[in-house]
């Protein structure tokens, strides 16, 4: 994390970046178990394992959102320029996380044995999610308009990444109002992410849900791998080389 500190809730004693390092490692281990279950041949055992693994996977992501909420409370500005993500990953962020509709696209790309009822339920969920995404995007746009003034932008940068040895008072006006607005919109976006994922899990059968989880985790891992590859090729020049 950047050096320096903010006064709000003593952020120096907690590092979301350190949490993410451990969380990603545990996700990799869980991914191996899920993949092994998907590739298993005993369907009866797979059904039992599927329910257990789904519960563990949902609990793992629930832990992530709990810690992210804590990080937002400490310094929400840093979530919009996360040091724990590569630049490639940051390019795809929507309100400090993935766009919920990505989950529904993953279902389309990874599950090919949907029933008519499941397809109908997913179509309805797509429409609902698209509408709710727009509400969150519109709220963030309103906040961004408020924050566009140069003096306030300078204060935001100082709040997100204080200089070494400097303490920034997050309760200072109008930073406090902006902070509260951003924290609320991040919470709304994360709530939509969680509820969309939970609804997808309810629509799919346990074996289908396992295949969906494999696809979702693989996407996260591939984006991280590509991002690190690009950064190892020296930033923007690496990105142009990677895309060619």
Answer whether 209's CB lies under 8 Å from 54's CB: yes
Cα–Cα distance for residue pair 214/32, rounded to 1 Å:
9
Provide the pLDDT for residue 2.
Answer: 36
pTM of the model: 0.81
Cα–Cα distance for residue pair 23/18, rounded to 1 Å:
9
Cα–Cα distance for residue pair 206/212, rounded to 1 Å:
10
Q: Nearest CA to 197 among 35, 36, 57? A: 57
Per-residue pLDDT reduced to its tens digit, 156-203 = 666 655 666 555 555 566 678 888 999 999 999 999 999 999 999 999
Q: Nearest CA to 83 among 93, 73, 178? A: 93
């Amino acid at each position: 994390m950047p050096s320096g500190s903010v006064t709000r809730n003593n952020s120096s004693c907690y590092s979301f970046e350190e949490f993410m390092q451990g969380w990603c490692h545990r996700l990799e281990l869980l991914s191996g178990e899920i993949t092994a279950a998907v590739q298993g041949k005993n369907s009866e055992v797979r059904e039992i394992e599927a329910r257990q693994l789904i519960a563990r996977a949902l609990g793992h992501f629930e832990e992530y959102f709990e810690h992210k909420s804590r990080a937002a409370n400490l310094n929400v500005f840093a979530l919009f320029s996360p040091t724990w993500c590569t630049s490639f990953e940051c390019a795809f962020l929507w309100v400090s996380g993935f766009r919920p509709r990505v989950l529904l696209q993953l279902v389309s790309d990874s599950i090919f044995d949907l029933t008519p009822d499941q397809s109908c339920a997913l179509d309805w969920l797509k429409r609902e999610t698209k509408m709710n995404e727009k509400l969150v995007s519109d709220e963030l746009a309103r906040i961004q308009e408020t924050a566009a003034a140069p003096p306030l932008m300078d204060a935001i940068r100082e709040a997100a990444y204080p200089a070494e040895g400097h303490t920034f008072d997050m309760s200072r006006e109008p930073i406090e109002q902006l902070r509260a607005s951003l924290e609320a919109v991040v919470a709304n976006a994360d709530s939509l992410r969680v509820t969309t994922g939970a609804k997808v899990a309810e629509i799919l059968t346990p074996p289908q849900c396992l295949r969906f989880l494999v696809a979702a985790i693989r996407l996260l891992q591939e984006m991280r791998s590509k991002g690190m590859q690009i950064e190892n090729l020296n930033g923007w020049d690496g990105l142009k080389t990677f895309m060619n």
